[in-house]
Amino acid sequence: MRTELHTYGIVSEVNGDDTAACVSVQAGLVVWVRPGAGFSWWGGEWSVRGRKRYAWGPPGDPVAVARRVALRFAEAYAEHAHAALITDLLRGVGGDREVPPLVQPADRVVLVWPV
């Protein structure tokens, strides 16, 4: 997946072992990889109770997962210098699939438990 992310201009770092790994893409965007269980990352949405909702990708398709993570990167970092480039690259991938337009992140209410 790291190699596929690189084709979108996204540099990542992989840390882990045989049981689990994490692909650090950007602050706030980490993809967890568990052999046989697949990939998961924060999809940018919050539940009604204020918890993060995670996206999931199948373990056998790192190319499709990298594409979805690249979309999330471009969405989350729309102000980032490479966001437009990544979106353009994504539009050229996937045949006749439509890439949703970038949206500005909406204001979100984040609930934080007192420590």
Residues of the chain with pLDDT > 70, as a percent, come to 74
Domain that holds residue 20: 2-91
Q: Per the domain annotation, does 107 fall within a domain? A: no
Q: Tell whether 101 is covered by a domain.
A: no
Cα(21)–Cα(2) distance, integer angstroms: 12
**Residue 38 domain flag:** yes
pTM > 0.75? no
Q: Which 8-state DSSP code applies to residue 78?
A: T
Domain annotation covers residue 100: no
Q: Which two tokens stand for residue 65?
A: 């997962």
Confirm whether 64 is domain-assigned.
Answer: yes
Reported as a pLDDT band with limits 50, 70 and 90, residue 93 is low
Number of domains in the chain: 1
What's the pLDDT tens digit per position in 13-62?
888 888 888 998 876 789 999 888 999 999 888 889 999 999 999 988 99
Domain assignment of residue 114, yes or no: no
User: Is 104 among the domain residues?
Assistant: no
Please report whether residue 105 resides in a domain.
Answer: no
Name the CA radius of gyration of the chain, rounded.
Answer: 15
